[in-house]
Structure 1
Amino acid sequence: MRDWVAVGACVAGAGAGAGATSSSVSINVLSERTADAIALVADVAQRPSFPDSELARVKANWNRRLAIALTQPGTLANAAWTRAYYGPDHPYGRVLPTAAQFGAYQTGQLKAWHAANFGAKRSHLYIAGKFDAAAVKAAVEKSFGGWAAGPDRALIPVNPKAGPQVLLIDRPGAPQSTINLVFPAPAAGSASDIPTRVMNALLGGSFSSRITRNIRENKGYTYSPGSSVALLPTNAVWTFNADVTTAATGASLSEVIKEIRTLQTTPPGDEEAAGMRQYMAGLFVIQNSTPGSLVNSLATRDALGLPRDWLDTYVPATLAVTPAQMQAAANAFDLSKMTLVVVGDLKVVTPQLQAVPEFKGIPIKTVTIP
């Protein structure tokens, strides 16, 4: 699934990382050291050493992080819905490794994986900042020109289980319940993509959203609810997340569903719709105001297979979204395709969920992670 990405900008710092869809080597340097930075990034990407002496330390650090993560209800909820939605055999459904997996890795395996997956054909090099273009081009050709093409990018198809499914994870005595509500969303770059993003801001994805005003400001059930559209190269989902008072778990979900249904039946007023369009357009401009953030946007564009002019067309397209399009985007949320995960005190939470009319007839399953 991975696509290699290297980035550069104009201050200090260097690092490497890996995520669900990409691996990266990044460095930020003063402009006059750009050529040196390119050479360093090229060396790390093409010729990593993977010393045996470091592997035990890396394993210990990751196992410590894993142990901490497994105590966090948000992590458990995310692991539960991705496993149920994508399936345990799909990379998107395996967000949490096990300590046994970490313990089994040897440096030979790391070297073999690098050799099999890193190459020029599936890489992108981004350099943002102030620099001498001719000198940078020469440095890139010198450092990367001999890199073997390597394999094509691997895109594994997704066949999600769209629901309806309700999954519960027990945390006896927990004062709060963690809720993850998930629906399929339009693919990145599709006709419904940007309308869905604007609709999300109105519904739950901004501090002034309807869900936030309802269950935070008016009801006091939660402090920081939120929703987002998660876009992946072969899939997209809309997710709502909140930590709510245990006694208000069922009521919170009822209010969230009510807000969804209200938007499905009645388009937003012109003033509210215009406010959300302006918010999303302004946020995009702010988020792309630094070299590093611009590089991230370019990398996201390429990872999702979006057109090269995506960053140029995003703001006009966002400002053109109509109230009717926002309503249509909300209507894509079909409760028969819902995945819901609740992490909390099940002896208190389960009766509340059973009393929510929309969940009648949907099997409620208790799961454990990992």
Structure 2
Amino acid sequence: MSAPFAPLANDRFLRALRRQPVDQTPVWIMRQAGRYLPEYRATRARAGSFLKLCKTPELACEVTLQPLARFALDASILFSDILTVPDAMGLGLYFAEGEGPKFERTVRSRADIDALKLPDVASDLRYVTDAVSLIRREIGGKVPLIGFSGSPWTLACYMIEGGGSEYFEHAKALLWDDPQAAHRLLELLGRAVTDYLRAQIEAGAQAVMVFDTWGGALSLAHYREFSLRYLAQIAANLPRQANGEHVPLILFSKGCAHSLEQQADTGADALGLDWTIDLGDARRRVGDRVALQGNVDPVVLYASEAAIAAEATRAVQSFGPHPGHVFNLGHGIHPAIQPDKLKLLIDTVHTESRRVLAGR
């Protein structure tokens, strides 16, 4: 039997997700372990490839912990990739230099979909759960660990297109031409994502997040039928108890502020927001049903220090002195950002939020 994990020293992030009072707004950043950090680039070079980095638990642990040594972050996030699930389904994931993720095989017909099988998380994705457990041990209770997955719709986009896409023409055509087949694929992926997140929770993840990166590529009707429907199923079917503690679920549908109320009805604990909606407006729309995470435009980190501080301050003041805010960017940090600018953003959020939460 493995030794128990160290007790948590900083629980601001989990308290905020549970809409409980905190002394300052917790901060973490999407892609906080990544190419903008020189220490990450060194570890990536040592690994030899991005996939080797993801699939070696010791290296994934190393890069997960790197930003915690630099910044006053309130949470860590597992270093991995959203495409681990379709890779485990046998589609042959690889990364083309300058082109991003690609699959050797696509899924575009009923026959392709019928040939798919649920991955065996315990074996096919063991490297992920091993990384989760190793990170929990190595982090020593400093901050909570977030596990994650891509959403069924986002995974389907990559599987159907064979990689990234500007228009998602093959994926979206399937929704119109054969909605029954599309639902069959999304149902399978919904089960796979649920199993995958469950395994991460069992391995030690203290919160989990679903990235619906391409939800905003859909029309409103298609979003609700082919994306939101499966996010709600994951929220309903995912066991969220570990060692007597509730494990919060965050849903992030980029570009989908049109459906915040419906997202809040899924049963998720928190919603991630991009930068196209005001935090105060979002809070008024969802009330106290969910916590909110976000939402400064990541591009502001190319701007002056004064602009960065102003945007961080604006976000904190917009949410106000209410429980249930986790600060983040509206999407992942860019690879060319200077680390000192991220430090300024984090420190400003902490300083300003202490003032706002204290009513000053």
The structure carrying a bigger strand percent of its residues is: 1
TM-score (norm 1): 0.24
TM-score using structure 2 length: 0.24
